[in-house]
Amino acid sequence: MSQARFAIYFTPHPESRLARFGAAILGYDCHGAREVPRLALDGIDPAVRARAATEPIRYGFHATLMAPFGLAAGCSAAALKTALDGFAAGRAPLPIGPLEVARIGGFIALVPAAPQPGIAALAGDCLGRLDCFRAGLSAGDRERRLAAGLSPRQIELLDRWGYPYVFSEFRFHMTLTGSLPSGEREIFQTALAAAFAELADEPVTIDAVSLMGQDDRAARFRVLDRKPFTG
């Protein structure tokens, strides 16, 4: 289990239309840890769809609150679960309004249709409360992150928190594709927006946090426990 990793994500309730949509786009249900048929997208070949999902399918349909990490020495998965229980207990659900399909750099994701500063505060609180469970960033992981071309502030955050997109750099998103060739980005964005149209007016609420687990770097993340907010 030395290669096992954990993460703290927001995953919609597994029976919700949003969760079913995300699973059908990626072809993987992270709640059941099983493959599911992919939703057809107009004008996009299934083989191209499969390639676009190669990276995000490893993580399942989610929004990151605390990025994947190994456990620090002396910490256990049971203790992490208990701490996450404490984080969720008494916390009020956070309405974030409708989502929309957007392009972030080279990939496509769902993001809030209007600014929602409360999400960054939630993610920052999660990181501050649970960072003690995180093992330090490996040299290999640090080099991989640096290769993305980080700003000085992002490098500072990476070295302190193990992930560059936290606090002021945080952006809530639910990934739908991996990085796409420039000629495919508009095609995917248009097709995904059309597929999401029936859900585009439905408000979303962050009502729980999910503890995710990955047995090793080759495995897919799965939901180990979903902790509802009880406030």
What one-letter code names the amino acid at 218? A
Number of Cβ within 10 Å of residue 128's Cβ equals 14
Q: Hey, what CATH topology would domain 5-123+173-228 get?
A: Cyclic Phosphodiesterase; Chain: A, (3.90.1140)
Structure tokens at 111: 């993001």
Q: Give, in degrees to the nearest 5, the angle at Cα 137 between 136 and 140.
A: 145
Per-residue model confidence (pLDDT) at position 3 = 85
- Packing angle, helices 182-196 and 17-26, rounded to 10: 150
How far, in Å, CA of 215 to CA of 100, rounded? 32
Q: At a CB cut-off of 8 Å and minimum separation 6, what does 193 contact? A: 100, 101, 200
Structure tokens at 36: 């599911």
In tens digits, the chain (231 residues) has pLDDT values of 458 999 999 999 999 999 999 999 999 999 999 999 999 999 999 999 999 999 999 999 999 999 999 999 999 999 999 999 999 999 999 999 999 999 999 999 999 999 999 999 999 999 999 999 999 999 999 999 999 899 999 999 999 999 999 999 999 999 999 999 999 999 999 999 999 999 999 999 999 999 999 999 999 999 999 999 988
pTM: 0.95
DSSP string for residues in 78-115: HHHHHHHHHHHTTPPPEEEE-EEEEEETTEEEEEESS-
CA 16 from chain centre, in angstroms, equals: 17
What ranges in 137-221 are assigned the alpha helix state H? Answer: 139-146, 152-161, 182-196
How far, in Å, CA of 123 to CA of 189, rounded? 26
Choose among 94, 159, 78: nearest CA to 126: 94
Residue 64: strand, helix, or coil: strand
Distances from the Cα of 148 to the Cαs of 142, 158, 206, in angstroms? 10, 12, 29
